[in-house]
Structure 1
């Protein structure tokens, strides 16, 4: 694929998607949304790719929606506004449901829709100088399309506070809330991301994919007979899979599994 707002690279099973609009703090518009959707779909379907890093070029990770795009939306009809909002919702879902694990490399400030992007990722690592803000209420708007992911990432109570106050908070607070999983110095950011990526790539690709799906599909469900049967079926299926058999064999034979690189 050819991109105008992103750069996409791949090396040794790891792909990196970089938001590349530093002049507008990597704010997104309809082109960014379309390209992110296409990039994640393509990489999700690429067998050689085992993990994806999402990051930004410049001092900000993502400032949310592009102001010029927002001005254009102000003239949209109701139907046009709904269709436009749906493309954003679908892009976020594409990131969240990507079969490959996604690491957010948060190298700078992250506002509004940018927080939705981070929340849709599986793992987030931020520099200690990064700030976060769900700023929509300041503009008379709602963080609606990002809300399913942000609420899952930082919980209902914290989401309620920051949705209605639009307060800015720092990386230490994001870590305390569980919105990000690690905070580093700028100098250590790449090393930490590489460490996590290497761990992901060293695991069974099938088990990683199915573990991600397990959390998404089991979280919040009632623990009843249907769930017990579902989880039993999942473990039975993966035990019988080629990678499941190979993993057990390699452990017993004290050797590296076939998927190790």
Structure 2
């Protein structure tokens, strides 16, 4: 992988660390593409069960790299679109990752950094972390974060955060529903505990849940969603993992994927 990120896999847990600490782990095109490539590699690796996304140095991620974006006025519109799509693509790649994912957040998570955090299934953050959707105060649009922000807090709160542009602490982030757990900085290893717990779930069910939840959320709560879910229940119940899981329960043992 590129020098802007570092990847490692240990005991089924993949760790993707942003390594642009001098740039507060902000995203430029190369870093965004490196994230996408790493996510694709982890997705296709059967040895990977869980993804942990982290940042090196004083921040989780400060979002888009201003030094890079300040070069955009000299680019053609099509080239600017390519840059914007690269950043959006990194967040989407994390969101679409078919296995459980956890954001391990310390320091600052700003703009697109919040997008990366919310694209993960879980966010465990240090009590000293700071957050902000500050783009409005810089004359910019925090578009990278908007889809996952709306999913996390709803359209009204998302709109308030985006137009206000201020920063806030971990306690407020938890109150708003942006993060799942706030721990003392030295207790961020709680991420590892959660990752090990997530490995107990059947991989096929976890992948199906990640695919189905947004699909069902987009449907009315009527016969259409019931029909989709009924079909998937009927199909999942006869899979090898379902049969193994039920038999393991009856045998009072762990299923093969959890050993």
CA distance in 1, matches of 2:4, 2:46: 25
CA distance in 1, matches of 2:3, 2:185: 27
1:42-81 matches, within 5 Å, as 42-81=41-80
1:157-196 matches, within 5 Å, as 157-190=156-189, 192-196=190-194
- 1:111 correspondence with 2:77: no
CA distance in 1, matches of 2:44, 2:215: 20
Residues matched between the structures, number = 259
Q: 8 Å contact 1:151–1:159 — kept in the other structure? A: yes
Find the counterpart in structure 1 of residue 32 from structure 2: 33
Question: CA offsets, 1:86-118, max 9 Å, x none?
Answer: 222222111100111110000211111101111
**Which stretch shows the higher mean deviation, 76-85 or 20-29?**
76-85
TM-score scaled to structure 1, two decimals? Answer: 0.96
Find the counterpart in structure 2 of residue 234 from structure 1: 232
- Give the 3-state SS of the residue equivalent to 2:27 in structure 1: coil
CA distance in 2, matches of 1:156, 1:131: 22
1:83-162 matches, within 5 Å, as 83-162=82-161
**Which stretch shows the higher mean deviation, 61-70 or 120-129?**
61-70
CA distance in 1, matches of 2:41, 2:48: 10
Deviation of the 1:51 alpha carbon: 0.3
CA distance in 2, matches of 1:74, 1:200: 45
Q: 8 Å contact 1:15–1:49 — kept in the other structure? A: yes
Q: 8 Å contact 2:101–2:122 — kept in the other structure? A: yes
TM-score scaled to structure 2, two decimals? Answer: 0.97
Find the counterpart in structure 2 of residue 248 from structure 1: 246
Q: 8 Å contact 1:200–1:208 — kept in the other structure? A: no
- Give the 3-state SS of the residue equivalent to 2:104 in structure 1: strand
**Which stretch shows the higher mean deviation, 11-20 or 150-159?**
150-159
CA distance in 2, matches of 1:155, 1:108: 25
Find the counterpart in structure 1 of residue 213 from structure 2: 215
Question: CA offsets, 1:58-102, max 9 Å, x none?
Answer: 111001111220111222222222222122222211110011111
Deviation of the 1:241 alpha carbon: 0.5
Q: Which runs of 5+ in 1 are unaligned?
A: none
Deviation of the 1:202 alpha carbon: 1.4
Q: 8 Å contact 1:25–1:59 — kept in the other structure? A: yes
Q: Which runs of 5+ in 2 are unaligned?
A: none
Deviation of the 1:17 alpha carbon: 0.3
What's the C-alpha RMSD, in Å, of the aligned pairs? 1.1
- 1:8 correspondence with 2:7: yes
Question: CA offsets, 1:202-224, max 9 Å, x none?
Answer: 11111111122221211242012
Find the counterpart in structure 1 of residue 20 from structure 2: 21
Deviation of the 1:236 alpha carbon: 1.0
